Structure 1
């Protein structure tokens, strides 16, 4: 699998896996099923009602009902920050090449170029492009400078850290509460990813960053230090 390094707000590089062709196809199929369900619902409700009440305006009503299908991908990506129903189920997401959130203008570019990637040449251009490019990008991704990454978590951080904190726990770093919620959540995510990939360099960088933020020093090993800070933070802020 190909990975991409993304620099977080804590100036720590972490890696995400590019979403492969298989997952992207499955996401597309799921989205197609969503739209098919939409058409079925319209057929047995709106279309039937229109044909009974005003058969002369059937064509105009049908054309209007097709607009949500036409703009589905664009609107979903904009509203749900790089995801459609299919992408959400498959655990993949569209982001910028540097890992930052994609903008609405990026989604518009990707949506317009779908005409070439998917429809004009029967998916050939998009498929070949994903298979042959280093970042597994279709033409629309290359033009918008976006990538599709896997986001699904295989480990729940609360199971590995926070469940260990009981009522009688005595915090070691009493200023851990100075972390913001955003910082604590990012530390948890980086810790999870570093452990998952066994990237001890990232773990050490994370430790140095925490020490800098909280102005503390410790003899604890990197992993134990991060876990302790998180437990202290959880214990102190929960009160």
Structure 2
């Protein structure tokens, strides 16, 4: 799977798994199946009111098209209010983000939505699919125009392997001061670190590192993320048999 690589100003590298083409197509299919179901349901609901029996065809169609407006704006509204996800994207666990991994803006969601007319609907998706396949960050025309990408939100096993790797008998504790921590502290540290890494928010990691420096009264000569990782491992090694 392709990666979206990001370097923070502190020279810390984060990686996102880019959403696969198959996942994007399935998510698109789910979303437009929902839109189709809505259009059919709206038709039958209006039919029960006797609207279609009116002699003024233009008025009838106007009311129906007005009712279809939520479906027309569905992708844009869903991504705006649900942090880059539609129902299809939620099911497939993918999300629209800025190219730097942070949350996209309303303007960027709007640009993606407008450009879908060109790279999805006017050419039956051929242009969008071709663009996704050949571009480095798997971007369709709308993504390139909006400076966005679609990532997978499935849990990154690499992070889990880093945090929860089995500690061997030869492991040497770097910070014996971890004895001051409780199980609750250790779990909180692990959860906050994981959250910061998943969000690609280095400020969370830096704040956590500073807090641990004060709490343990140590002066680590290493990067904050390395320090936190070692503290977690030191703690679990120290209390592994207790």
TM-score by length of 2: 0.69
In structure 1, which of residues 91, 105, 108 is the aligned counterpart of residue 107 of structure 2?
Answer: 105
DSSP 3-state at the match of 2:73: helix
How many residues end up aligned between the 2 structures? 205
1:45 maps to 45
Distance 2:145 2:69 in 1: 25
Q: Which has the larger radius of gyration?
A: 2
Which structure exhibits the higher relative contact order, with contacts defined as CA atoms closer than 8 Å and separated by 6 or more residues? 1
Distance 1:184 1:87 in 2: 28
Deviates more, 1:132-141 or 1:48-57: 48-57
Q: Is there any run of 5+ residues in structure 1 with no aligned partner, and where?
A: 162-170, 194-205, 231-239
How far apart are residue 172 of structure 1 and its match?
A: 2.9
The question of whether the paired residues in 1 share the 8 Å contact of 2:7 and 2:13 is answered with yes
Q: Is 2:232 aligned against 1:226?
A: yes
Q: Is 2:23 aligned against 1:26?
A: no
How far apart are residue 32 of structure 1 and its match?
A: 1.1
For residues 10-61 of structure 1, the C-alpha deviation after alignment (integer angstroms, 9 at most, x for no partner) is: 9743211111211100000000111122122212212331426855331111
Distance 1:4 1:72 in 2: 27
From the superposition, tell whether residues 192 and 137 of structure 1 become closer, same or farther in structure 2 (CA, over 3 Å): closer
RMSD (CA atoms): 3.9
Distance 1:39 1:114 in 2: 20
Within 5 Å, give how 1:79-90 maps onto structure 2: 79-90=81-92
How far apart are residue 78 of structure 1 and its match?
A: 0.4
How far apart are residue 192 of structure 1 and its match?
A: 8.1
DSSP 3-state at the match of 1:149: strand
TM-score by length of 1: 0.70
State the 4+ residue runs in structure 1 displaced beyond 6 angstroms: 8-11, 175-179, 206-209
From the superposition, tell whether residues 27 and 139 of structure 1 become closer, same or farther in structure 2 (CA, over 3 Å): same
